[in-house]
Amino acid sequence: MSDLGPPALLDGAGRVALIAGAAGGIGRATVALFRRAGVAVAGFDRVSAGTDFDILGDASREADLAAAVETTLSRFGRIDHAIALVGATGAGTLDETSADEWHRLLEINLTASALLARAAHRALKATAGSLVLASSTNGRNGGSSLSGPAYAVAKGGILTLTRYLAKEWATDRVRVNCIAPGPVATPMLHRLAPATLDALRGAIPLGRFAEPREIAAVLAFLCSDHAASITGACINVSGGLVLD
């Protein structure tokens, strides 16, 4: 697949994006695409993501997320787009998932997004900006033991959080949407055995895993003025693994 290049639909001049989970596979692709579109990017993660302005922190800590918002505002003066790409998978059945693991995965995959949204609300209201969250096919079809029950439940919660905030923030002119990727060709898949990967790829009607830059392009569209009437939506990017 050829490089998608800068998305002409996203005019990033003067815009600022705060991307949580910027050092992950999808995060780095999103950072690169947004910067090529002219967006000033603040990246939040445990390690540097090579953004215009890196902020190191732990997404499971409310204070770190709130500080990331305030630090971005101090550096750039505004936030037009807040994007939550923080995530971690589990594995196994409910019986095999400890209470500590359950809480950890819900904190990272669901609570962190809610806390980022709350921290960024005032800034997004000031710019009539947009919030984009990351769900998953697991949140739409119930998931499986490949990623475990807590991951599926958390990603299902992202769908409801998106719809809730889309309604609550509509009068503030803040749009809230989410993406629901299927398997994406990132290091997160490296934990799976080759036979499992082959079976997973075979279950996708298009016969391949999505590339991170494809997910980044969908995020760019949702943040663009061309999506000005889209809020409360969940964009399915699964190669047909889930059909709307």
- d(CA 43, CA 35) in angstroms, rounded, equals 11
Domain ranges of the chain: 16-237
Terminal Cα distance for the chain, rounded: 25
Q: In this structure, what are the phi and psi dihedrals at residue 223, rounded to the nearest 5 degrees? A: -90, -5
Yes or no: say if 68 and 18 are a contact pair by the CB < 8 Å rule. yes
Which residue, 106, 239, 244, is CA-closest to 183?
239
Matching residue, tokens 């630090």: 71
- d(CA 174, CA 24) in angstroms, rounded, equals 26
Predicted structure pTM score: 0.93
Please give the distance of CA 95 from its chain centroid, rounded to a whole number: 28
pLDDT truncated to tens, each residue of the chain (244 aa)? Answer: 455 555 566 888 899 999 999 999 999 999 999 999 999 999 999 999 989 899 999 999 999 999 999 999 999 999 999 999 999 999 999 999 999 999 999 999 999 999 999 999 999 999 999 999 999 999 999 999 999 999 999 999 999 999 999 999 999 999 999 999 999 998 888 888 899 989 999 999 999 999 999 999 999 999 999 999 999 999 999 999 999 8
- d(CA 85, CA 83) in angstroms, rounded, equals 6
Yes or no: say if 129 and 79 are a contact pair by the CB < 8 Å rule. yes
* DSSP-based three-state secondary structure for 18: strand
Instruction: Looking at the structure, give the CATH architecture of the domain made up of residues 16-237.
Output: 3-Layer(aba) Sandwich (3.40)
Four-point Cα dihedral 10, 12, 18, 19, nearest 10: 40
- d(CA 230, CA 204) in angstroms, rounded, equals 27
User: Which one of the listed residues 151, 169, 176, 218 is annotated catalytic?
Assistant: 151
Does 164 participate in catalysis according to the annotation? no
